[in-house]
Structure 1
Amino acid sequence: MYSNFPASVIVRRAAGRGPRCRADGADGNYAGLVLTAEVTVPVACEVAFATLSDGWLYASWVVGASHIREVDPEWPAVGSRIHYRFGLWPVLIGDTTEVRTVEPPHRLELEARLWSIGSAWIRITLAEAEPGHTTIRMTERAARGPASLIPGLAQDVAFAARNQESLERLAALIRARAR
């Protein structure tokens, strides 16, 4: 379904933080360039993935999500969903995010619906950079709706800062839970 989603060329920013551009094709059958948000946390992959497995924390780290209404009991199994609201009060719109692929503790792929606008495909990968340190990468593409017609690089620019902030929030949650 998402075979046109590009993979990733790490171009490191001077500060060592923030979105990077990857084009290594290491994560599957994708080719091309994509801006990838990235953080490293001082915990093992299993510990970091445990935070992703708690659907009730979704609004705590995903920029734009503001209220979790329900989490399917089997989250994060394939097909399970988080029901949430996004936006700013008083304009809150309800929708869902569904798990498309899960390979604990290394990969979680989601489809986040965005009301009548369409949906976005999100890939979160976790890799132990060194023992006890996990690098988390997040990439996103519009999958359905009018936004899917926007060229990939323009989507990268639109999603990059938001996804980096989301990962920074996720990293803070992981560190707090690991204490």
Structure 2
Amino acid sequence: MTDVTAVIAAPPERVWAVLADGWTYAGWVVGASHVRAVDAGWPEIGARIHHSVGPWPLVVHDTTEVVDVEPGRLLELDARSWPLGAARVRMELSRTDEGGTAVLMSEQVVRGPARLLPGPLQAALLIPRNRESLSRLADIVTAGAGTP
């Protein structure tokens, strides 16, 4: 797994509210360009976000599915981006002493051709991407989107 952490200056409830709103997915996930639909019940296990990945006109339609969830604390996803493959993405939230949220984002390619890339090369690609994703998530959270 490749891990990236960030501290967001908002309580975990506000961060979770954004993660629990599937329509914000393309706003914070680097590479996701459009959300086409969100299954009823998101973010329950088995619920999916139907999204597009990549720049137009090279857009690929795919899905991201919840594989584990502890509301307010943990969201684990099977994020597909075929033909490249699929990754397991785990978002863990914990309250900081200052009342903010520490977010740990872990990602590992689990299927497809991208899985053949050596671990250090995967990390070199994923770490900057996921840092930017957490920065975008922080911007959405602190702007007030998805507040309960």
TM tier relative to shorter chain: over 0.9
AA partner of residue 47 (structure 1): R
- Count of aligned residue pairs for this structure pair: 146
Which has the larger Rg? 1
Where do residues 47-62 of structure 1 align in structure 2 (5 Å cutoff)? 47-62=14-29
Aligned-residue Cα RMSD (Å) equals 1.5
- Indicate if the aligned counterparts of 1:63 and 1:166 stay in contact, CA closer than 8 A: yes
Match of 2:72 among 85, 100, 105: 105
Q: What is the SS of the residue equivalent to 2:96?
A: strand
Corresponding residue number in structure 2 for 1:17: none
SS of 1:130's equivalent in the other structure is coil
**How do 1:1-179 residues align onto structure 2 when only pairs under 5 Å count?**
6=1, 34=2, 36-177=3-144
State percent identity of aligned pairs: 46
- 1:44–1:131 CA contact under 8 A, matched in 2: no
Residue 131 (structure 1) shift? 4.6
TM-score, L = length of structure 2: 0.92
Using the alignment, how far apart are the partners of 2:42 and 2:126 within structure 1? 25
Specify which structure has the bigger relative contact order, considering alpha-carbon pairs within 8 angstroms and separated by 6 or more residues: 2
User: What is the DSSP-based 3-state SS (H/G/I as helix, E as strand, rest coil) of the residue aligned with 1:88?
Assistant: coil
Question: What TM-score, normalized to structure 1?
Answer: 0.77
| 5+ residue gaps, structure 2 | none
